[in-house]
Amino acid sequence: MAIYTDGIHLISCSSEEELHLFARRVGIKRVWFHASKNKPHYDLLREDVKAAVLEAGAIQVSSREIVLLLKKRPPRTGW
């Protein structure tokens, strides 16, 4: 699993499917997902959700690291 958060965003470096499964497991609403071609992510809009993602195993990184991780991720296809 490679799920990361900066406390505001939630991303996966492995796959979008992994990100959606993780989000569903911790109760994140699908409408919080941003389907950007190069930066697919969920916004973490509530404090309880922020705590839940860390408790569920998301790795805390800085906002700068989130950007760098997303740049390394292959772009989404099929759009």
Closest C-alpha among 48, 66, 61, 74 to residue 11: 66
pTM for the whole structure: 0.86
Domain boundaries, the chain: 3-59
Closest C-alpha among 32, 14, 70, 51 to residue 23: 32
The pLDDT confidence band at residue 79, using thresholds 50, 70 and 90, is very low
User: Taking the mean position of all CA atoms in its chain, how far away is CA 75?
Assistant: 15
With 70 as the cut, is the pLDDT of residue 24 above it?
A: yes
Tokens of 17: 């499917």
User: Containing H/E element for 60?
Assistant: strand 59-60
pLDDT > 70 fraction of the chain, expressed in percent and rounded: 91
